[in-house]
């Protein structure tokens, strides 16, 4: 059993993630996002194909640049705010309560479209071989 909360995990930030713009705040509660080397994590948490669970907070106007995950899928759950995700060229409006799956080898980006910050929960898992 593992339990971690805000008291145990430090929030960090990245500017211009994946060639995007603005600041992205990350609280990596479980696991480790290998694509974000500068964000501390817990790579030995899972015995399964799960990689991480983290909270993202993006400032108004922030953009996560286009990138591809090979060998994994991600679930983005919108807690607060509004934005637009582009997955393999398809634009998807996201608002509070929406969940989106980015599949293995999909290319995706995200832009905050509202005037308030976006808060999302992101979970990544490896694909079955």
CA–CA separation, 52 vs 109, rounded Å? 19
Do 120 and 62 touch, CB atoms closer than 8 A?
Answer: no
Identify the helix (H) or strand (E) that includes residue 68. Answer: strand 63-68
Do 24 and 17 touch, CB atoms closer than 8 A?
Answer: yes
Do 25 and 12 touch, CB atoms closer than 8 A?
Answer: yes
| pLDDT over threshold 90, residue 38 | no
Please tell me the predicted confidence (pLDDT) of residue 36: 87
Mean pLDDT, the chain, rounded, equals: 95
Mean pLDDT, residues 47-73:
95
Please tell me the predicted confidence (pLDDT) of residue 60: 96
pTM: 0.93
Query: Domain extents for the chain?
Result: 12-126
> pLDDT: is 118 or 129 the higher one?
118
Q: Which fold has domain 12-126?
A: Jelly Rolls (2.60.120)
Question: Strands 72-80 and 99-102: what pairing?
Answer: antiparallel
CA–CA separation, 94 vs 20, rounded Å? 18
Residues linked to residue 118 through DSSP beta bridges, in sequence order: 58
| pLDDT over threshold 90, residue 35 | no
Residue percentage of the chain with pLDDT more than 70: 99
Residue 31 to residues 16, 20, 46, Cα–Cα distance (Å)? 23, 24, 7
Residue 62 — very low, low, confident or very high, per pLDDT cuts 50/70/90? very high
């Amino acid at each position: 059993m593992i339990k971690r909360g805000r008291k145990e995990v430090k929030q960090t930030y990245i500017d211009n993630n994946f060639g995007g713009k603005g600041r992205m705040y990350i609280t990596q509660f479980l696991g480790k996002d290998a694509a974000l080397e500068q964000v501390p994590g817990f790579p030995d948490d899972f015995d399964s194909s799960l990689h991480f669970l983290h909270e993202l907070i993006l400032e108004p106007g922030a953009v996560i640049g286009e990138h591809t995950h090979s060998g994994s899928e991600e679930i983005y759950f919108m807690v607060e705010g509004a934005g637009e995700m582009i997955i393999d060229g398809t634009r998807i409006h996201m608002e509070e309560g929406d969940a989106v799956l980015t599949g293995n080898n999909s290319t995706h980006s995200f832009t905050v479209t509202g005037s308030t910050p976006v808060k999302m929960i992101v979970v990544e898992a490896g694909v079955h071989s």
